[in-house]
Amino acid sequence: MTKVITITESLSANADMQEGLSILTSDEWLKLQAFCDMAITENPTTDKAMRTKLKITDDKVPLGEDFKATVKLYSELKGYCETFTGDIKPGTLKLAGDIVQYNRTVETVYPELIALLESYRKTGTVTPEKLKELAKDWEGTGNPTPESKEVKEQFKEYIAYLYTDAEKRAKEAARLKTKLTTFLSNLETSKGNFSEHVEDYGNKYADYEGKLQKTKEAVEDLQRELNALRKTQKDKEIVLETSPLYLLIPGLGFFVMAGVLIGVGVDYGLKKEELQGKISKLEETQKKLSTEQNFFNNYSVVLNLTTKTLEDVKAAIKSVGKLEAAWNALTHDLEELVQKLDGAKGRSLDEDWRFAALDLKTAQKTWKALSDQADQYRRFGDAKKAATVDQLFKNVKVA
């Protein structure tokens, strides 16, 4: 049975596009950016950097084999994350730009389509009766006129133009999903390599008194507390009105501040002081640890965050997959529309294709609404690194 296609369905924005784009306002996306920055800038990826990290100042003291082996693991992880930061992240933000650009095409083409239909037989505005008459002409069941044939050809050309544009964006989404899938595979390799040595290194170097653990847990509790105050919409989508910020914290990972906070009676100045106090305590505690204990703490932090980041990447792949599927669905419908318009006499359009359902103005509004959201995602989906706790809290917006 021939698929029924309506103009409103074929030329409106797909809801999956908005759902796919929402990854750019998710906690997963923000943490993924912070993790990769940490892997690039904080982990010691050379022997010299490892010596500095562990405060081994005497060049005559050889770097232990475990430390050297870990330098290689950090270096591999850095390479994977550089690919994310330099290629995948901009590509993901570009998906929002694609929506904005496609809407510009819609703003040009849809009025032309409307004008074509309004000019048919010079009868003014589009009506269901006129559209049914035009459909019969195009199907070859009415009395085709030169005007109806010209409208049909121009209509087909515009739809073909939209098809070409949508097809290009579907391919870009597919390429990005492939890159994200490769990135996921590389992170899984890193996790496996770190996991291979964690038990051995733990037995050799772990801080069995857990000097850092309580402070780390307190910082994580504060992160959860502030996250719970974020204003959200739909499926936990963070409402962003300023650029998200993150602070890299040696020996712990990172702390993210994003969105509009809505806690009634919450003193964010005190929260800032609380975070600064916990970070200072972490720094003081790390100074008291041995070289080996600090090495293992950083090692276990990286393994733990890599494991968590795998889930963040999976969320990104799922979202980009939704965008790919939405563009593909749009491409398929537009292609089928072109084929129907270009088909044999009497079958150029399925008789169930209801021109009376045509509402190009409504369809255009769906793209405008999605474009406005996409522009918001594009502007605020790029998280920035804060240098200090003060800077981290500077962009906090309270509802």
Strands 384-385 and 397-398, how do they pair?
Answer: unpaired
pLDDT at 144: 63
Domains and CATH numbers, the chain: 7-209+295-382 (1.20.1170)
The H or E element spanning position 385 is strand 384-385
Alpha-carbon torsion, ordered 84, 88, 93, 94, to 10 deg: 150
Kindly report, residue by residue over 107-143, the tens digit of the pLDDT: 998 888 877 776 665 555 555 565 566 666 666 555 6
The reported pLDDT for the residue numbered 296 is 96
Classify 257 as helix, strand or coil. Answer: strand
- The residue type at 213: Q
Q: What is the pLDDT of residue 113?
A: 81
Q: Give the tokens for residue 70.
A: 């870990």
CA distance 223 to 256: 7
Residue in 153, 158, 183, 9 with CA at minimum distance from that of residue 92: 183
Q: Please, are residues 11 and 358 in contact by the beta-carbon 8 Å criterion?
A: no
Place of tokens 């500077």: 394
pLDDT for residue 278: 94
Handedness of CA 11, 16, 19, 22 (dihedral sign): negative
Task: Determine the distance from the C-alpha atom of residue 203 to the mean position of all C-alpha atoms in its chain, rounded to a whole number.
Answer: 39
Q: Which residues pair with 260 in a beta bridge?
A: 397
Q: Tokens 């982990």: give the residue.
A: 43
Q: Which residues of the chain register pLDDT less than 70?
A: 1-9, 118-145, 148, 234-236, 263-265, 341-359, 399
Per-residue pLDDT, 87: 98
Give the residue among 380, 351, 368 at the shortest CA–CA distance from 243.
380
